[in-house]
Amino acid sequence: MAVMAAVVGFTHLLTGFDNPTLVRLVTTLLDGPYTSRQATYDLRRLGRKGLIIRMHGSHRYQLAPLGRRVAMLFAKAYGRVLAPGLAALDPQLPEALSTRSELATAWRRLDRTLDQFINDGLAAA
């Protein structure tokens, strides 16, 4: 996922991106080690899936049209579904706001039920 996020960041580059550039960005995103060998593997997989295209006569890559559509899907899903959903599930969200969301209400009910189940199990043991 971090690799795709990094590749999406290269969409504006007319000259494309290369392996070392991808390694630097993914290492920053993961906040951990990411080797050139891993980048080569990921680039090969993204190319086979049609998400990136190797530029003729070089070791540089560009996002393919399918890759752009997938990138837009990820961006929209994050902005419209994931971020608001995670915000509704925030345990520090005030009760007045959480009761407005069916997702937050269901999540809190599940959380309370699980806590009760665990406490009953520990008390029985």
Number of domains in the chain: 2
Last-in-domain residue among 70, 102, 117: 70
Q: Are residues 45 and 11 in the same domain?
A: yes
Reported pTM: 0.61
Which tens digit of pLDDT belongs to each residue from 3-61? 766 666 666 666 788 899 889 888 888 888 989 999 999 999 989 999 889 988 888 99
The helix/strand count (H/E) of the chain reads as: 7, 3
Beta bridge partners of 60: 18
Query: Domain with 12 in it: what CATH number?
Result: 1.10.10.10
Q: Which stretches does DSSP call E strand in 1-125?
A: 17-18, 52-54, 60-63
The boundaries of the domain holding residue 16 are 2-70
Whether residues 56 and 10 share a domain: the answer is yes
CA distance 27 to 32: 6
Tens-place pLDDT, residues 88-110: 777 776 777 667 778 777 877 88
The identity of residue 38, as a single letter, is: Q
Residue 88's pLDDT is 74
Please check whether residues 7 and 63 belong to one and the same domain. yes
Same domain, 18 and 63: yes
Instruction: Answer positive or negative: Cα dihedral of 60, 49, 70, 5.
Output: negative
Spatial CB neighbours of 97, under 8 Å, sequence gap ≥ 6: 104
Is residue 125 in a domain?
yes
Note whether residue 80 is domain-resident.
no
